[in-house]
Amino acid sequence: MRHNVSPFRKTLLYIFLFIGVIVSVFPFYWMFVGATNPSGEIFKVPPNFLPGDYGWENFKNLNENVGIVRVLGNSLFITLTFTVLSAIVCTAAGYAFAKFQFKGRNAIFFMLLVAIMIPYHVTLIPLFEIFSNVNWLNTFQAVILPQVAYPFAIFLMRQNMQAIPDSLLEAARVDGAGEFHIFFRIVLPVMRPALAAVAIFLFMFQWNNFIWPLVVLQSQDMYTLPVALSSLVGMSRIDYGQVMMGTTLSTLPIMIFFLLLQKQFISGILGGSVKE
Amino acid sequence: MKKWLSIFLLVGLVAGVLSACSGNGGGETSGENGESGGEPSGEITVWGWNVAAESMELAVDGFKEQYPDVEVKVEDIGRLDVYEKLTVGLASGGNGLPDVVLVESDRLANYQEQFPDALTNLSEMGYDKHEDKFGEYKLSVTQNSDGDFFAAPWDIGPTGVFYRTDIFEEAGVNPEDIKTWDDYIEAGKTIKEKTGTNMVPVDIAKDDALYRMMLNQQGAYYYDEEGNIDVTSEESKKAFEVIKQLNNEELILNNDGWNGVVSATVNGEVATVPFGVWYTGTIMDQAPDQSGQWGVFQLPAFEEGGNRAANLGGSDLVIPSSSDNKNTAYAFVEYFTTEVDPQMKALEEKGIFPSLNSTYEEDFFNQESEFFSNQKIFKLFADEVSDIPVANYTSDYSRAFDTMSDTQASILLDGKDIETALQDAAEKLKSETDRKISE
């Protein structure tokens, strides 16, 4: 395949890729430019394409307005706790659905699939009432807990777990390994790429989660990043410099998290243990 | 197994639909206790957004001077986010709601009709004595059909046409000659010809603000006084005829969203922007270097000598029935809406225009605004307030808003005939709302 590419096609390919890069990177660059300039600059014609020196000022205003440092801390705590908890629960559930025979397994699994289709509006009010009844409004656990068993993540893990050959698990059992031992020492290592994908997915879901935290968190010092940023957008006056600074800050953790987990994709592929 | 799957899907869907429908049920309220008379004390929480929340923050000190034992916690929440939280809270019987909530005037009727018992009757707490302090328009949105206050009137959005003095000068157009919408279109043609600038920014597919101002100006709205669908009225046709003509003469700049309108404003892509008084703050914030290049005149009338006053925007305060400190909540609402001092702070520092009539006698309204070419713009808006016609927003305001924005797009972008488009819009609203179409 590689030696077939003619110089002409190669150039074409590079031009195409270059345009793709510009199109996908430019919004981020523009966001960065906006974050380092005063609000009025953003709408100027001709536009100013260079980063300014107003970044610190925007950050200070943003911190004064919504307490961005505290909010970032809240978001990180909620998202990381959620990701770890949910990854454990969903992996275990996926494993059970894929590799254990029990009564009603398929029925439960189909109910799970149905759950994916329920729009959040439907569960919003009952869920709110539940948390209000146990007096958990305005707490971190109220944001973290409802989605820990995340149907789509369970589904994803189950599909991946099915690829593990039963013979591998049986061999382990014959050798006297306990079920927990099998799960942690045999299943999880093979599942690293899938786990990484699910973790990124869960992280992004909770990091961007808006409507539920908005409804359940009551005071400003408990807000997560999307909720705090949303409060910057009022009726007629919006300080775009602050908004851009906020969005810049909100994209960084996702990038870092993705880069950290990226390695797992590759090492997971190399970690095959069975040939059939 | 396929059969199982489809049965489950069906059950899931039905359950989903059912629970969506029953969401508005529970209007059960708690916490009737704790409102025995006496001095207001204790802590209350207030929800508002952006500059409005900041205005409430400004009022806290003055309030505490009158009632030393109170604490007021103002939560600054996004405007649409307030509605999301308020709806969920009201639907779940008042759980997790604060003591005071800011709501825009055109959304009030929605909450009042959907959750009739969930908002405190302010008249029963004594608000009636302030009735003569507000104009007819504001009373019409804050009182229910029995004439009782369910909300306290706060800010109002008298409209005006913001215009670029330098562009008008370059084109040789005198804004004082623009008395009717026909004059406005003629002026627009001249300006376009001489300077190449468009006359007015409109977010054609998503916002019908210009149409709403024109309806209100003529004393009409989406619905008539009885709540019947009224978009096929003479007034509605006239409004769209003007808008269509503006479009035919290529005087409209089609913008995408609020940001588009703001950016067109500050970049001099449009010579005028008809909006509510609150747009003064936006212009001053986003185009600080255009001081002295702006002016304001009232909306043009539909016929010589016709009404030029209308309202766009404005908000009011409600006290959810679930509040367990209604006494203090009421004291705050009363202070914040009927004392002159907090009104003036909100106006001078945050650009929020009061509806309390007695404020208009303050010196501030006679000051010349340097940014607006030394015009007494606040006097202009204040004089307008008493002429604003009453509008019946009803609980189906947002449906009509969506429908009419679509209708505006079909008339301007697809060239649909006005009469047919309005008839279709009325039919659509009829099927969505179960309301009758006004004859």
pLDDT digit string (tens) for A7-30? 899 999 999 999 999 999 999 999
DSSP single-letter state for residue A220: G
Over chain A, what is the mean pLDDT?
88
pTM confidence score: 0.82
Would you say residue B17 has pLDDT above 80?
Answer: no
pLDDT band for position B3 (cuts 50, 70, 90) = low
What H or E segment, with its residue span, contains residue B45? strand B42-48
Q: What pLDDT is recorded for position B32?
A: 38
Say yes or no: B33 contacts chain A, CB-CB below 8 A: no
* Contact check, Cβ <8 Å, B79/A43: no
Based on the structure, what is the number of domains in chain B?
2
Residue-wise pLDDT for A60-109, tens only, equals 989 988 899 999 999 999 999 999 999 999 999 999 999 999 999 999 99
In chain B, what percentage of residues exceed pLDDT 90? 79
* Contact check, Cβ <8 Å, B285/A39: yes
Q: What pLDDT is recorded for position B24?
A: 37
Asked if residue B149 and residue B164 are part of one domain, the reply reads no
Q: Greater confidence, A118 or B233?
A: B233
B194 occurs within a structural domain: yes
Residue-wise pLDDT for B267-287, tens only, equals 999 999 999 999 998 898 888
Q: Which of B321, B331, B350, B356 is nearest to B115 (CA)?
A: B321
CATH of residue B124's domain is 3.40.190.10
B6 occurs within a structural domain: no
Would you say residue B224 has pLDDT above 90?
Answer: yes
The residue range of the domain holding B125 is: 42-157+314-370
Q: What pLDDT is recorded for position B241?
A: 97
Residue-wise pLDDT for A248-271, tens only, equals 999 999 989 988 888 776 655 445
B285 contact residues in A (CB cutoff 8 A): 39-40, 237, 239
Asked if residue B201 and residue B190 are part of one domain, the reply reads yes
B439 occurs within a structural domain: no
B381 occurs within a structural domain: no
Residues 6+ away with beta carbon under 8 Å from A88: none
CA A219 and chain centroid, separation: 24
B289 contact residues in A (CB cutoff 8 A): 40
Residues 89-148 of B with CB under 8 A from A: 89, 91-93, 95-96, 98
Would you say residue A274 has pLDDT above 90?
Answer: no
Asked if residue B394 and residue B279 are part of one domain, the reply reads yes
Asked if residue B417 and residue B330 are part of one domain, the reply reads no
Instruction: For B28, list phi and psi in degrees, rounded to 5.
Output: -65, 130
Q: Residue A221, class by beta-carbon neighbours within 10 Å (0-12 exposed, 13-18 middle, 19+ buried)?
A: exposed
Would you say residue B8 has pLDDT above 70?
Answer: no
Would you say residue B29 has pLDDT above 70?
Answer: no
Q: What pLDDT is recorded for position B22?
A: 39
Q: What pLDDT is recorded for position B21?
A: 41
pLDDT band for position B178 (cuts 50, 70, 90) = very high
Asked if residue B325 and residue B398 are part of one domain, the reply reads no
Name the residue facing B282 among A211, A233, A236 (closest C-beta). A236
* Contact check, Cβ <8 Å, A110/B5: yes
How many whole angstroms separate alpha carbon B266 and alpha carbon B257?
A: 15
Asked if residue B300 and residue B176 are part of one domain, the reply reads yes
Taking residues A132-153, report their average pLDDT. Answer: 93
B34 occurs within a structural domain: no
Taking residues B361-375, report their average pLDDT. Answer: 94
How many whole angstroms separate alpha carbon B215 and alpha carbon B240?
A: 10
Residue-wise pLDDT for B97-131, tens only, equals 999 999 999 999 999 998 989 999 999 999 999 99
Instruction: For A177, list phi and psi in degrees, rounded to 5.
Output: -75, 140
Asked if residue B345 and residue B290 are part of one domain, the reply reads no
* Mutation target vs A (from B1, B55, B286; most A CBs, 10 A cutoff): B286
B20 occurs within a structural domain: no
Asked if residue B255 and residue B201 are part of one domain, the reply reads yes
Name the residue facing A220 among B76, B85, B285 (closest C-beta). B76
Would you say residue B387 has pLDDT above 50?
Answer: yes
Would you say residue B23 has pLDDT above 60?
Answer: no
Lowest mean pLDDT among A3-7, A54-58, B110-114: A3-7
pLDDT band for position A143 (cuts 50, 70, 90) = very high
B380 occurs within a structural domain: no
Asked if residue B249 and residue B393 are part of one domain, the reply reads yes
Asked if residue B403 and residue B262 are part of one domain, the reply reads yes
B15 occurs within a structural domain: no
Domains and CATH numbers, chain A: 24-272 (1.10.3720.10)
DSSP single-letter state for residue A182: I
Taking residues A142-168, report their average pLDDT. Answer: 92
Q: What pLDDT is recorded for position B9?
A: 54
pLDDT band for position A150 (cuts 50, 70, 90) = very high
Bridge-partner residues for B301, per DSSP?
B180
Asked if residue B147 and residue B109 are part of one domain, the reply reads yes
Asked if residue B82 and residue B190 are part of one domain, the reply reads no
What is the least distance, in Å, from the CA of A257 to any CA of chain B? 28
* Mutation target vs A (from B8, B10, B263; most A CBs, 10 A cutoff): B8
How many whole angstroms separate alpha carbon B230 and alpha carbon B234?
A: 9
How many whole angstroms separate alpha carbon B392 and alpha carbon B216?
A: 10
